């Protein structure tokens, strides 16, 4: 089999159905399977999927919510595809992206994983990849200065591939990550220390360290309804920072971590000052929450 499409569900049945529909509708000229792993949802997803798709969808029901990466690892245990396509439930394929990405992996032995271009519900480009890892000091300097260094270095291709050619990147957004199964297994899959967030970045960090390349494939198009599969709550921000710290500890030494965390604090304080001066209440609340998490809770 060519590709195993793997989707992790946690109470996102309406989004999940649209995602599965798009895979079935758009994917052709390739042998694939769809595996849905359910993290102990209460959305009746098992019965709904069985009634709508029958044996077109393999359903794995977990007794508890074990997190995103570990749930994907469970699916890989039964996956038959030589390539694995980790797809978020809040995505909709706009073309034959599964075949486009799989063909690129098959034709390029030193490419370990790849992904497509992501757009929002209005068709506007959204974050599809990064040109450097979040662990690097440069990234925090970049954010501190409103991403001007990134724009200077990479122009409009900093997070979206506007070219008509594959683009070498440091990591693909986890919403649509395709990786060779044999490489995934060699690397022991997603790190179980992550519950949610940064598990994709950490895996791709190991892909890079193993000497494989990561590419953005612009003609694979996917709509990403970013944020629709979870609430933008303080708890979510706490999870993000918690996972971020795990990622930093796994990929950096203590001196680099100290420098990065210092830059993060400068960034938060500067944003609070800026949005207080310009009376932007929504963003001031957002960065105030960041302040509470980082500086007060010491996450």
Report the relative pairing of strands 129-130 and 167-169 from DSSP bridges.
unpaired
> Does residue 184 sit in the same domain as residue 289?
no
> Does residue 163 sit in the same domain as residue 279?
no
Which domain range does residue 256 map to?
234-296
The answer to the question of residue 138 being in a domain is yes
254-277 helix and 137-144 helix, angle to the nearest 10 degrees: 10
State the pLDDT at residue 292. 78
The answer to the question of residue 254 being in a domain is yes
> Does residue 211 sit in the same domain as residue 246?
no
State the pLDDT at residue 228. 55
State the pLDDT at residue 232. 54
Question: CA angle, corner 199, sides to 71 and 254, nearest 5?
Answer: 145
Residue 22 maps to which CATH number?
Answer: 3.90.550.10
Longest dimension (CA), the chain: 58
> Does residue 194 sit in the same domain as residue 257?
no
Total domains in the chain come to: 2
> Does residue 56 sit in the same domain as residue 183?
yes
In angstroms, the CA 294 to CA 288 distance is 10
Task: Identify the domain boundary among 204, 224, 244.
Answer: 224
Strand residue runs (E) in 88-202: 91-93, 111-119, 129-130, 167-169, 171-172, 176-180
Walk along the chain (299 residues) and give the pLDDT tens digit of each residue. Answer: 999 999 999 999 999 999 999 999 999 999 999 999 999 999 999 999 999 999 999 999 999 999 999 999 999 999 999 999 999 999 999 999 999 999 999 999 999 999 999 999 999 999 999 987 655 688 888 888 888 888 888 888 999 999 999 999 999 999 999 999 999 999 999 999 999 999 999 999 999 999 999 999 999 999 999 755 555 567 788 888 889 889 989 988 899 889 988 998 899 999 999 999 988 888 888 888 888 777 665 55
The answer to the question of residue 139 being in a domain is yes
State the pLDDT at residue 151. 84
State the pLDDT at residue 236. 80
DSSP string, 15-73: HHHHHHHHHHHH--SS-EEEEEEE-S-SS-HHHHHHHHHGGGEEEEE-SS---HHHHHH
The answer to the question of residue 159 being in a domain is yes
> Does residue 108 sit in the same domain as residue 239?
no
State the pLDDT at residue 211. 95
Residue 155: DSSP 8-state:
G
> Does residue 238 sit in the same domain as residue 220?
no
In angstroms, the CA 186 to CA 188 distance is 5
Task: Identify the domain boundary among 200, 224, 248.
Answer: 224
Query: Per the confidence metrics, is the pTM higher than 0.85?
Result: yes
State the pLDDT at residue 80. 98
The answer to the question of residue 257 being in a domain is yes
């Amino acid at each position: 089999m060519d590709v195993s499409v793997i989707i992790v569900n946690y109470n996102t049945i309406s989004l999940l159905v649209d995602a599965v529909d798009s895979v079935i509708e758009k994917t052709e000229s390739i042998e694939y399977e769809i595996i849905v792993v359910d993290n102990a949802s209460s959305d009746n997803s098992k019965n709904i999927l069985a009634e709508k798709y029958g044996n077109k969808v393999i359903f794995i029901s977990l007794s508890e919510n074990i997190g995103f990466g570990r749930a994907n690892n469970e699916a890989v245990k039964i996956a038959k595809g030589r390539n694995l396509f980790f797809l978020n439930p809040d995505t909709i394929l706009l073309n034959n992206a599964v075949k486009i990405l799989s063909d690129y992996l098959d034709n390029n032995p030193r490419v370990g994983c790849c992904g497509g271009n992501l757009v929002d519900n209005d068709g506007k480009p959204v974050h599809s990849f990064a040109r450097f890892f979040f662990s690097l000091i440069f990234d925090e300097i970049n954010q501190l200065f409103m991403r001007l260094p990134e724009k200077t270095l990479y122009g409009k291709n900093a997070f979206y591939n506007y070219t008509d050619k594959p683009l070498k990147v440091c990591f693909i957004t986890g919403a649509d990550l395709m990786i060779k199964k044999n490489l995934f297994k060699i690397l022991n899959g997603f790190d179980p220390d992550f519950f949610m967030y940064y598990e994709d970045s950490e895996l791709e960090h190991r892909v890079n360290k193993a000497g494989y390349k990561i590419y953005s494939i612009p003609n694979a198009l996917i709509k990403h309804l970013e944020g629709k599969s979870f609430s933008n709550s303080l708890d979510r921000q706490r999870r993000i920072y918690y996972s971020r710290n795990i990622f930093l500890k796994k990929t950096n030494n203590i001196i680099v971590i100290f420098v990065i965390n210092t830059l993060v604090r400068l960034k938060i304080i500067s944003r609070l000052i800026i949005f207080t001066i310009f009376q932007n209440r929504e963003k001031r609340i957002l960065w105030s929450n960041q302040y509470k998490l980082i500086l007060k809770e010491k996450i």
